[in-house]
């Protein structure tokens, strides 16, 4: 247990950081990262669902029959997502309006189901929640990073504060749909470049 703790905790921050290493959950990564704030909000919402769903599924792993496990996971995840949706509408209304249909769409985010199937269904609750925390925060970090790049270069602001001065001409391309694809594609390429420089294996989808 103890020797599994640290590797599990740190794996989500580099070794399998979504959506770059683990090419899952691209849709929200593309859709809501117009600004750093949206990215962070979406990342934290997903992390919350991921921690609790991993915990719940791991607790019930010996009760759920393996034939209907995917359906059971989806029900658990959907319940948690509904809770997040209601909480966000109550406490962070402007953010919830901006994220729109992408909050309920956390249900079909492959990361959540992927971690449930790949980790929580085989491991005890505590370590599963650690895994959920690690992958969830890794996802939040990635989304904030993508959001920051797009917001700083596309609008000249960061978390809504101007950072690049008056003379900077914002590249509006980056905050629109095509910019999202190009940004993530470029980050993936840079990451591959870094992996090659370190002599690690390439991660390709």
Residues that bind other proteins (CB under 8 A): 23-27, 30-31, 70-71, 74-75, 78-79, 81-82, 85-86, 100-101, 104-105, 107-110, 113, 176-182, 184-186, 188-190, 192-193, 196, 202, 204-205
- Contact between 24 and 142 under an 8 Å Cβ cutoff? The reply is no
Write down the least CB distance from residue 38 to other proteins, Å.
Answer: 13
Q: What φ, ψ does residue 157 adopt, rounded to 5°?
A: -125, 165
Smaller CB distance to other proteins: residue 9 or 105? Answer: 105
Compute the distance between CA of residue 62 and CA of residue 54 in angstroms, rounded to an integer.
Answer: 14
Smaller CB distance to other proteins: residue 6 or 189? Answer: 189
Write down the least CB distance from residue 122 to other proteins, Å.
Answer: 20
Compute the distance between CA of residue 183 and CA of residue 174 in angstroms, rounded to an integer.
Answer: 8
Classify residue 71 by burial, with Cβ atoms within 10 Å: 0-12, 13-18, 19+.
Answer: exposed
Write down the least CB distance from residue 118 to other proteins, Å.
Answer: 14
Smaller CB distance to other proteins: residue 24 or 44? Answer: 24
Compute the distance between CA of residue 177 and CA of residue 10 in angstroms, rounded to an integer.
Answer: 32
Write down the least CB distance from residue 133 to other proteins, Å.
Answer: 23
């Amino acid at each position: 247990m103890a020797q599994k703790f640290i590797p599990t905790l740190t794996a989500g921050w580099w070794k399998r950081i979504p959506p770059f290493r683990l090419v899952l959950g691209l849709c929200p990564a593309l859709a809501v990262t117009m600004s750093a704030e949206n990215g962070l909000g979406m990342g934290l919402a997903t992390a919350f669902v991921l921690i609790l769903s991993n915990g719940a599924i791991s607790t019930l792993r010996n009760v759920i029959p393996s034939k209907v496990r995917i359906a059971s996971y989806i029900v658990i995840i959907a319940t948690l997502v509904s809770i997040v949706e209601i909480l966000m509408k109550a406490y962070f209304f402007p953010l919830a309006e901006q994220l729109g249909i992408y909050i309920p769409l956390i249900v079909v985010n492959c990361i959540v189901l992927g971690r449930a199937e790949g980790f929580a269904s085989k491991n005890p609750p505590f370590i599963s929640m650690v895994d959920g925390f690690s992958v969830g925060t890794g996802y939040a970090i990635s989304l904030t990073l993508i959001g920051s790049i797009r917001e700083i270069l596309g609008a000249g602001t960061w978390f809504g504060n101007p950072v690049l001065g008056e003379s900077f001409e914002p590249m509006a391309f980056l905050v629109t749909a095509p910019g999202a694809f190009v940004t993530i594609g470029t980050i993936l390429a840079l990451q591959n470049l870094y992996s090659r420089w370190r002599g690690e294996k390439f991660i390709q989808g």
